[in-house]
Amino acid sequence: MKDRVIVLGSVNTDLVVKVRRLPQPGETVIGGTFYQNQGGKGANQAVAAARSGEKPVTLIAAVGNDVFGRESLAALQKDKIDLTHVNIKDGISSGVALIMVDECGENAIAVASGANAALSPADVTAVPDSVFEQASVLLTCFEIPVETVQVGLRRARQFGVTTILNPAPVPEHVPAVLLSDVDIITPNEHEIARLLDLPKIEDETDARTAAQRLLDRGVGNVVLTLGARGCFFAGAGDARYFPGFPTKAVDTTGAGDAFNGALATAISEGRDWVDSLRWASAAAAISVTRAGAQPSMPFRHEIEDFLRLQG
**Catalytic sites, residue numbers:** 257
Report d(CA 298, CA 285) in Å as an integer: 10
Binding mask 28-67 for ligand RIB (x = CB under 6 A): -----------xxx--x-----------------------
Candidates 111, 153, 185, 226; binder of ligand RIB (CB under 6 A) is 111
Going from the C-alpha of 224 to that of each of 9, 164, 238, the distances in angstroms are 20, 13, 14
Report d(CA 272, CA 280) in Å as an integer: 12
Which distant-in-sequence residues (6+ apart) come within 8 Å of 202 by Cβ?
Answer: none
Secondary element (H or E) of residue 46: helix 41-52
Residue 284 interacts with ligand RIB (CB under 6 A): yes or no: no
Which span sits near ligand RIB by CB under 6 A: 8-16, 190-198, 225-233, 266-274? 8-16
- As measured in angstroms, the least distance from the Cβ of 189 to ligand RIB is 16
CB of 149 closer than 8 Å to CB of 8 = yes
Looking only at residues 214 through 253 of this chain, which bind ligand RIB when binding is defined by CB under 6 A? Answer: 253
- As measured in angstroms, the least distance from the Cβ of 144 to ligand RIB is 11
- As measured in angstroms, the least distance from the Cβ of 45 to ligand RIB is 9
Report d(CA 276, CA 267) in Å as an integer: 7
Q: Which is nearer to ligand RIB, 38 or 136 (CB)?
A: 38
**Residue at shortest CB range from ligand RIB:** 39
Q: Which is nearer to ligand RIB, 101 or 131 (CB)?
A: 101
- As measured in angstroms, the least distance from the Cβ of 76 to ligand RIB is 13
Candidates 9, 12, 131, 242; binder of ligand RIB (CB under 6 A) is 12
Q: How many residues does the chain have?
A: 311
Residue 293 interacts with ligand RIB (CB under 6 A): yes or no: yes
Q: Which is nearer to ligand RIB, 10 or 186 (CB)?
A: 10
Q: Which is nearer to ligand RIB, 16 or 151 (CB)?
A: 16
Residue 17 interacts with ligand RIB (CB under 6 A): yes or no: no
Report d(CA 156, CA 152) in Å as an integer: 6
Q: Which is nearer to ligand RIB, 146 or 239 (CB)?
A: 146
Q: Which is nearer to ligand RIB, 140 or 253 (CB)?
A: 253
Going from the C-alpha of 67 to that of each of 14, 113, 200, 281, the distances in angstroms are 13, 16, 41, 34
Task: Kindly report the number of other CB atoms within 10 A of residue 274's CB atom.
Answer: 11
Residue 254 interacts with ligand RIB (CB under 6 A): yes or no: yes
Q: Which is nearer to ligand RIB, 97 or 161 (CB)?
A: 97
Size of the site for ligand RIB (CB under 6 A): 16
Report d(CA 97, CA 13) in Å as an integer: 6
DSSP readout, 201-255? --SHHHHHHHHHHHHHTT-SEEEEE-GGG-EEEEETTEEEEE-------S--TTH
Backbone φ/ψ region at 236: left (φ over 0), alpha (ψ -120 to 50), beta: left
Residue 191 interacts with ligand RIB (CB under 6 A): yes or no: no
Residue 143 interacts with ligand RIB (CB under 6 A): yes or no: yes
Report d(CA 104, CA 155) in Å as an integer: 41
Candidates 60, 62, 97, 283; binder of ligand RIB (CB under 6 A) is 97
Q: What is the DSSP letter of 82?
A: B
Site residues, ligand RIB (CB under 6 A): 10, 12, 14, 39-41, 44, 97, 109, 111, 143, 253-254, 256-257, 293
